Amino acid sequence: MNILGAQIRASIITLALFTLITGLAYPAAVTAVAQLIFPHQANGSLIKAAGELTGSELIGQSFSDPKYFWGRPSATLPFAYNAAASAGSNLGPTNPALAEAVRMRIEALHSADPTNDLPIPVDLVTASASGLDPHISVAAALYQVPRVARERGLSEEQVRLLVEQYTEGRQLGFLGEPRVNVLRLNLALEGLQ
């Protein structure tokens, strides 16, 4: 019984020690280092405009007004871009519900810009796995330039230059594709008027 008591005591001490190290000390140290070195990112990469919090660089937002660039569709529930319910639709490519959703998104794009006969980039009609993408492809942004320029009374060249200005390159120079943060681009558009 004496050996069993010693093992139980050692187990309790070990549990308490590792709880303190991995549950308190390590997270506190990582948080402190992050706040010192990367405070913007550690606090959610929040974007403020005119002193007001407008969103995060990391979470997409719903824009439906034709004078704004629209982001990638979101499949989160119960509302689009619900960060508390990050998820895709999980609909397979042969699922009729996916085909119907894509058809409706194509109709919405044609309805908002009936004279645009360019091919519609796939990221404007399909949701991502997270449902929270804050970026669209450069092609998706350029597809929307005529509509946004017309709705804002700007030249297409002005809006195209803004898209170029807000195009982010590949991560580390070789990962992913160039992309445009929709919220940052829309905030920049507001500054033009």
Q: Which residues pair with 177 in a beta bridge?
A: none
Give tens-digit pLDDT for 80-110.
898 888 888 888 889 999 999 999 999 999 9
What domain count does the chain have? 2
Q: Rounded to an integer, what distance in angstroms lies between the CA atom of residue 30 and that of residue 37?
A: 10
Residue 169 in contact with residue 182, Cβ under 8 Å?
Answer: no
Which two structure tokens, joined as six digits, stand for 188? 């920049």
pLDDT score of 86: 86
- Distance in Å from the first CA to the final CA of the chain: 81
Q: Do 52 and 13 belong together in one domain?
A: no
DSSP class per residue in 26-87: HHHHHHHHHHHH-HHHHTT-EEEETTEEEEETTB-----STTS--------SSSTT-GGG--
3-state secondary structure of 127: coil
Based on the fold, state whether residues 89 and 106 are members of the same structural domain.
yes
- For tokens 């929709």, what's the residue? 182
64 shares a domain with 27:
no
pLDDT of residue 192: 64
Range of the domain at 32: 2-40
- Tens of pLDDT along 22-76? 999 999 999 999 999 999 999 989 998 888 888 999 999 999 999 999 999 998 8
pTM over 0.85: no
Q: Are residues 92 and 184 in the same domain?
A: yes
**Do 152 and 106 fall within a single domain?**
yes
Cα–Cα distance, 71 to 91 (Å, whole number): 20
126 shares a domain with 66: yes
H or E element that contains 138: helix 138-152
Per-residue pLDDT reduced to its tens digit, 174-188: 999 999 999 999 999
Q: Are residues 19 and 69 in the same domain?
A: no
Same domain, 140 and 184: yes
- Is 35 in the same domain as 59? no
Please check whether residues 35 and 58 belong to one and the same domain: no
Do 36 and 49 lie in a common domain?
no
Tell me: do 176 and 110 sit in the same domain: yes
